């Protein structure tokens, strides 16, 4: 029973007695248990708003959101996916924005992607953008190094009027 522990311990020999292996074993078990419990944090699943859901108000999360319904308000998230049946009326701010549906309002994102089914009526402030053939877009497009900061959108706003 203790022979397996003796083999795995560095510097242990098969002739050692039980007290030599049993004393360090509890220390070795307790030390890795605490860091192992604190280190890995499971990534939460994305929040999903179904197609029959109508939300009035702002939403903010550090996680991911997939919207299939209607939202009247601003959304801030890490990854925001707008489904084909979705309609957003408000400002959208996210690290990654994938638009398959309709947005009426400003879009700010590090990476913004308008798919062929996207309909955007508003300005887009981005670091990188991709617009597929067939996407409908009315507004201005501006590149910014930090599109997520409110100061970046405020300083870019007068440039759009020129």
Q: Which two tokens stand for residue 70?
A: 């209607």
Q: Do 100 and 126 fall into the same domain?
A: yes
Pick the range with the lowest mean pLDDT from 50-54, 89-93, 142-146, 153-157. Answer: 153-157
Name the nearest CA neighbour of 139 among 127, 151, 157. Answer: 157
Integer angstrom CA distances of residue 110 from 34, 97, 129, 161: 36, 8, 8, 22
What are the pLDDT digits (tens) for 1-16? 444 545 455 555 555 4
Q: Do 15 and 87 fall into the same domain?
A: no
Q: Do 19 and 96 fall into the same domain?
A: no
Q: Does some domain include residue 81?
A: yes
Q: Do 87 and 120 fall into the same domain?
A: yes
Q: Do 111 and 146 fall into the same domain?
A: yes
Burial label for 29, CB within 10 Å (0-12, 13-18, 19+), is exposed
| 43: confidence class by pLDDT, cuts 50, 70, 90 | confident
Q: Does some domain include residue 162?
A: no
Global pTM reads 0.67
Provide the number of structural domains found in the chain.
2
pLDDT, position 158: 44
**Residue 17 clears pLDDT 90, i.e. is over it:** no
Range of the domain at 24: 3-38
């Amino acid at each position: 029973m203790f022979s397996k522990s003796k083999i795995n311990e560095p510097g242990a020999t098969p002739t050692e007695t039980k007290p030599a292996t049993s004393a360090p074993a509890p220390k070795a078990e307790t030390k890795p248990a605490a860091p192992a419990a604190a280190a890995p944090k499971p990534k939460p699943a994305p929040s999903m708003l179904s197609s029959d859901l109508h939300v009035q108000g702002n939403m903010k999360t550090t996680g991911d959101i997939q919207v299939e319904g209607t939202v009247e308000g601003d959304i801030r998230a890490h990854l925001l996916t707008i489904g084909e049946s979705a309609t957003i009326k408000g400002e959208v701010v996210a690290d990654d924005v994938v638009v398959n549906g309709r947005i009426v309002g400003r879009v700010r994102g590090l990476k913004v992607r308008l798919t062929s089914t996207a309909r955007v009526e508003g300005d887009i402030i981005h670091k990188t953008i991709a617009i597929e053939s067939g996407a409908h877009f009315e507004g201005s497009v501006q590149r910014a190094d930090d599109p997520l900061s409110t100061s970046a959108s405020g300083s870019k706003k007068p440039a759009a009027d020129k």
